[in-house]
Amino acid sequence: MSYHAMTPFRRPLAAARTIHERQPALPMPAESVSKWDALRDLSVGKEAFGLTDRDLTVLNALLSFYPDVAMDDPARLVVHASNAAICERLHGMPCSTMRRHLARLVEAGVVDRQDSPNGKRYVRRNSRGEQRFGLDLSPLPRRIAEIREAAQAARAAAEEIKQLKGDLSLMRRDLLCLLELVASESASLPCLTSYNDLLRLSSGEVRRKSNVDRLRAIKAAFATAIEELRAYMCPHAAENLSSTDAQNEQHYQSSNKELSEPERGKDMKEVRSKSDVVPLSQVVSVCPEILTYCGHQIGSWHDLLRAADTVRPMLGITYSVWHEAKQTMGDEAAATTLAAILQRFQHIRSPGAYLRKLCAKAAAGQFTPAPMLMALSRNPALPSSQL
């Protein structure tokens, strides 16, 4: 008979458990740790540990088997309750479900197993002392600093999300008022569709659970849209725009003056026709980030252009720069270029200045988006200077 056939108990050795065992055990903290405070902080920062509410419900039941509040003695932090007893405290949760959540707690490193030779959970007492076999809760106090840090970060993020959603609600109101003012004066607005798309997008983001980065981007888009509308309604107020934007505009206006008249008068139809070399499917495949902001699948160049109109203010690109890009490159090439800029947004310091630079190159017949997409598909981490 083989050794495995004679062995009464064999538990599969999980990879996560093996990793935890290889790492040296953290020391117990100097201060006393309350089990309920540790559970409360872990509940707030659970996403950092990959845990769910149901996982924490099982952990709550395990903590109820530990009689003390302070988690001081690691030797007494081994819970030896049976699966049936744990499920009973979980109000009849199926044993298979409980074991699945328990495995997640072990994988997250907040609970450990102290298995006995036969796999049972019990306490062995003899003349040399006491030995416990079961579920070890000592990782909670040992990792309390990490748990508190995750909880603090989660609380800060939740507070920022609350503030951002409040700001978005006020900015939506301001944008709606400006749009109503434009409508009352029967003024023609060149980018009304993008403003309406921004309003619809923000309405859903305020209601649903969103991350901080996405809300920041939408807030920046609202700031750009409101600034543009105010400048459109009051042209003289354009002088009060931020000094950074003014410097960028002046810089690139002066550089445009250096272009010769033959370059300025280049046939735009010839430049625009070059955008047809890039299939729409390739644009969406290489630049999938734009799908996040359009709310639907992109099935035509019109869909891509409409998505680009929505994303454009989020990138801090003014309407004048975007209008110049479409006039110089053509709608399809401009939308393709903006999708590529969005894909590399974290590596481009000033998307508006970068797009204006590409416009100058396109006017001189030195730029089409096809090489940019090819470079991006070969190396997504390529810096903007090499696109």
Pairing of strands 122-126, 78-79: unpaired
**What per-residue string of b and e applies to 288-317 under the rule 16 or more CB within 10 Å gives b?**
eebeebbeeebeebebbbbbbbbbbbbbbb
Calpha distance 98→91 (Å, rounded) = 11
Calpha distance 35→152 (Å, rounded) = 18
**Which one-letter amino acid corresponds to residue 334?**
A
Calculate Rg over the CA atoms of the chain: 30
Calpha distance 149→286 (Å, rounded) = 37
CB-CB contact of 16 with 107 (8 Å):
yes
Q: Which residues have a Cβ under 8 Å from the Cβ of 225 and sit 6 or more positions away?
A: 175, 194, 195, 198, 313
Cα dihedral 107, 46, 37, 61 sign: negative
Return the structure tokens found at 363: 């006017």
Q: Which mean pLDDT values do the consecutive 10-residue runs of the chain (387 residues) have? A: 42 48 67 91 93 93 90 82 89 92 92 76 66 84 93 92 88 83 65 77 71 84 83 53 41 37 40 56 87 77 87 84 89 91 85 89 87 77 51
pLDDT at 5: 43
pLDDT at 252: 36
CB-CB contact of 384 with 348 (8 Å):
yes
Calpha distance 334→327 (Å, rounded) = 9
What residue ranges define each of the domains in the chain, with the CATH number in brackets?
3-142 (1.10.10.10), 155-386 (no CATH)
Instruction: Give the Cα-Cα-Cα angle 307, 190, 248 (nearest 5 degrees).
Output: 80
pLDDT at 238: 40
pLDDT at 94: 93
- For the entire predicted model, the pTM comes to 0.54
pLDDT at 103: 92
pLDDT at 152: 94
CB-CB contact of 217 with 351 (8 Å):
no
pLDDT at 187: 57
